[in-house]
Structure 1
Amino acid sequence: MTSTSLTTASDNTLTLRRWITVGLPATELFNLWLEPDTLPRIMSHFASVTPVNKSDAHWQIEGPLGKHYRWDTRIVEAQPGEVIAWRSLEDADIPNEGELRLRPAPGEWGTELALTLQFTPPGGALGKKVTTLFDLLPKEVASKALHRFKSLAETGEIPTLHGQPAGRHGGRQDKEK
């Protein structure tokens, strides 16, 4: 079962939620999420993530008109096989927090992962409108991150089309005239 939702709190915080089932035990997924190269790989569609140490990471995204937004996060809770939670540190361009909850899937089908991301766009209500207008924090960020994590966990790699020619053109030229 998969599901996505986007809600907005009265304080202009955007909340993204996504659920997915991965065919591996929770402890294995917990450990994989915390490996230093995992977040940079699964979040590369959205942000540049640089691990600083075991609990901290530096994030950067590109916004409209070439503006860069940066923040640092710290893991504030880690219960093996159950939950990983993090928050942005002071002076974040986009204050945020997130949580990954893990629980056994029904019928011994692996582990259900629930990812929740909360962002507070800069500039209050106007900032929220600009963020939504420019899709600065796309609704799909949580969904794509979990699908990329699932692929990494189950196959050891994240599928990509990067560097591959488009199938429509196939690199040939039409010589008919």
Structure 2
Amino acid sequence: MNASGTGKRVVEAAVSAGRALLHREGPPGAQRQTLTVARPVGNVLRACQDPQVLSTLLGDAGSVRETGPGRLEWDVAGWSGTTEVHAEPNRVVFTTAGEDPVEPLVVEAWPAPRWDGCEVVLRLAVPAAPGLLDGALAFTMVYRLRALLQTGEVPTLAANPSGRAGVGL
């Protein structure tokens, strides 16, 4: 084997390892959304552990409240449950208690290329809302997270003055 063949295999191995870290697959049915957020990894992961922030991200779809240190109670799209928060380097995992624990929400954040903030991967698997609702809710949550961290507010159409009144849509 020549030097260029060895170099090519080393690059392929590094790319595969990076993909495995950045794109871990979740449980079957989990919906994953990825977005770049112009904030440091630590800020994103701290925000994702705050029940007020999580409730804001869910909007009308649900709410989250703290029931004790590291324990959150969720009411999302017809599903209610309690999770424990596990903060790990570059990720926050919410795990249900019981014999067969489930991870309804996992948030990962990694430095983005060229120092442009971080890449956020949000995996959502709400037991009562599989499929399309999970995908829409995952996108809504990560989109609102980016807006909240970058601008200090989440996008909304409520109470916005506009010329839409009486249009008949």
What residue is the counterpart of 1:155 in the other structure? 151
Show CA shifts across 1:103-157 (max 9, x none). 1100111100111122444xxxxxx8xx65xx6x342111110000001100111
Q: Distance in 1 between matches of 2:163 and 2:69?
A: 41
TM-score (norm 1): 0.67
Q: Distance in 1 between matches of 2:42 and 2:134?
A: 29
Offset of residue 8 of structure 1:
10
Cα distance change of structure 1 residues 70 and 112 upon mapping to structure 2, 3 Å threshold: same
What residue is the counterpart of 1:3 in the other structure? none
What residue is the counterpart of 2:92 in the other structure? 84
More helix by percentage: 2
Show CA shifts across 1:2-42 (max 9, x none). xxxxx997xxx421001000001111212222233111111
* Unaligned 5+ runs, structure 1: 1-6, 63-67, 122-127, 172-177
Q: Which runs of 4+ in 1 moved over 4 A?
A: none
Counterpart AA for 1:154: Q
What residue is the counterpart of 1:115 in the other structure? 122
Number of aligned positions between the proteins: 142
| 2:45 counterpart of 1:30 | yes
Q: Distance in 1 between matches of 2:82 and 2:60?
A: 18
What residue is the counterpart of 1:101 in the other structure? 108
Q: Distance in 1 between matches of 2:29 and 2:158?
A: 30
Conservation of the 8 A alpha-carbon contact between 1:14 and 1:119: no
Q: Distance in 2 between matches of 1:26 and 1:139?
A: 23
Matched residue of 2:155: which SS?
Answer: coil
What residue is the counterpart of 2:137 in the other structure? 141
What residue is the counterpart of 1:69 in the other structure? 79
What residue is the counterpart of 1:4 in the other structure? none
Q: Distance in 1 between matches of 2:156 and 2:127?
A: 30
Identity across matched positions, percent = 23
TM-score (norm 2): 0.70
What residue is the counterpart of 2:33 in the other structure? 18
Q: Distance in 2 between matches of 1:8 and 1:166?
A: 41
Cα distance change of structure 1 residues 138 and 32 upon mapping to structure 2, 3 Å threshold: closer
More strand by percentage: 1
Q: Distance in 1 between matches of 2:150 and 2:87?
A: 22
Conservation of the 8 A alpha-carbon contact between 1:56 and 1:72: yes
RMSD: 3.0
